[in-house]
Amino acid sequence: MTEKSKTPQIVISDPEAGLPFSKGLLASQVMVTGLSPLRAYEIADAVEDRLVDAECFSVTTEELARVALEVLREIAGERYAKNFLRWREVERLDVPLVILIGGATGVGKSTIATQLAARFGIVRVVATDAIREVMRSMLSEELMPTLHVSSFQADEALREAPTKAADAVILGFREQTAAVSVGVDALIERAAAEGTGIVIEGAHIVPGFFDVETDGERILAVPFVVGVDDEERHRSHFGAREDAVASRPAQRYELGFENIRKLQRWVKSQALSHGVPVIPNYSFDQAIAAVTDLVMERATSRAAELRERGHAPPDLNDRRAEDRAEDKEGKSA
């Protein structure tokens, strides 16, 4: 038995007395900074070592966060420490995180959504295709034909031929998106009412079609669009899709690739006109890092607004300053 295994159990003294310290739980909290799972666990391991060396076997959650912040600064660097501070602000906001991921078929939305949910501790991940499937069961093809085709085949379901000035694919997709957005808005409203975070991803997350303003005070909404500008890189994603999901043959997407690219250009133009960020997905790790930074920036901005109104507690840096001031007063006394 090693010396480390003989050490007493570290206990978190609040909010529930006797709750044991968990490296796995701390590592999951550290992952929101953008660190990989392995690096996050290394940080958690170093935090435990530091507490043991200091013979600190009972700590508050706030004290644990301060030690984690110090270790992050020393081992990972200021960028990750800053993100950790920002995430603490998200937690103190006490509002659900609602992440909305748009983009054309095959740009990597689902993969990014899954990873973000794991990093931010969100258990609900909903694809807009699932919403469309539910709506299809309630609305017949005769009643709503565009719901019964893929996004890039929506031109085939138009009741009337478009005018020369209108593009059939865009027109059909707009009709499909308008219908699916009813379900998207319902999910956002439910997240606000229940106070539960959610990731909603899919081709139908189009800026201008969903509503985050109505429940803006009750949620922290982070919408963005994923894009792949390079055609060959985008095309290669469908081969990987076929390998992963047998029901998604690459040939089908290859035949509709021109329409998929057309929809991507239109969705990106919608994002730009509505001030929604477009995240390029050339490197998965870089895309995740960019989205993590986006979430943290939104959280920091929201926390700053609340502090100005006097509705938010000070962050860790503010509390450290308060502690130093109290120590100084105690010594002078």
Write out pLDDT tens, residues 37-47. Answer: 899 999 999 99
pLDDT at 327: 47
Choice among 190-204, 225-239, 275-289, 302-316 with the minimum mean pLDDT: 302-316
For β-strands 58-59 and 198-201, DSSP reports them as unpaired
Contact 291, 279 (CB under 8 A): yes
Q: What are phi and psi of 313, to 5 degrees?
A: -75, 160
Which amino acid is it at 229? D
Q: Which CATH superfamily is domain 97-308 in?
A: P-loop containing nucleotide triphosphate hydrolases (3.40.50.300)
Q: Which long-range CB contacts under 8 A does 319-327 form with residues at least 24 apart?
A: 319/62, 320/66
Partners of 97 in the beta sheet?
220
Q: What pLDDT, on the 0 to 100 scale, is given for residue 192?
A: 95
Cβ neighbour number for residue 161 with a 10 Å cutoff: 10
Dig out the tokens for 54 from the structure.
């200091």
SS3 172: helix
Quick check: 314 pLDDT over 70? no
CB atoms within 10 A of CB 124: 16
* DSSP SS3 for 226: strand
Residues 6+ apart with CB under 8 A from 6: none
Q: Average pLDDT of 70-76?
A: 94
> For 5, left (φ over 0), alpha (ψ -120 to 50), or beta?
alpha
Task: Count CB atoms within 10 A of the CB of residue 153.
Answer: 18
**Rounded mean pLDDT of 309-320?**
55
Residue 48's pLDDT is 92
Q: Average pLDDT, whole number, for the chain?
A: 84
- Between 244 and 121, whose confidence is greater? 121
Radius of gyration of the chain (CA): 24
How many CA atoms within 13 Å lie on the side-chain side of 42? 9
The separation between CA 168 and the C-alpha centre of its own chain, rounded to angstroms, equals: 32
Residue 59, phi then psi, degrees to nearest 5: -135, 155
Would you list the domain boundaries of the chain? 4-93, 97-308
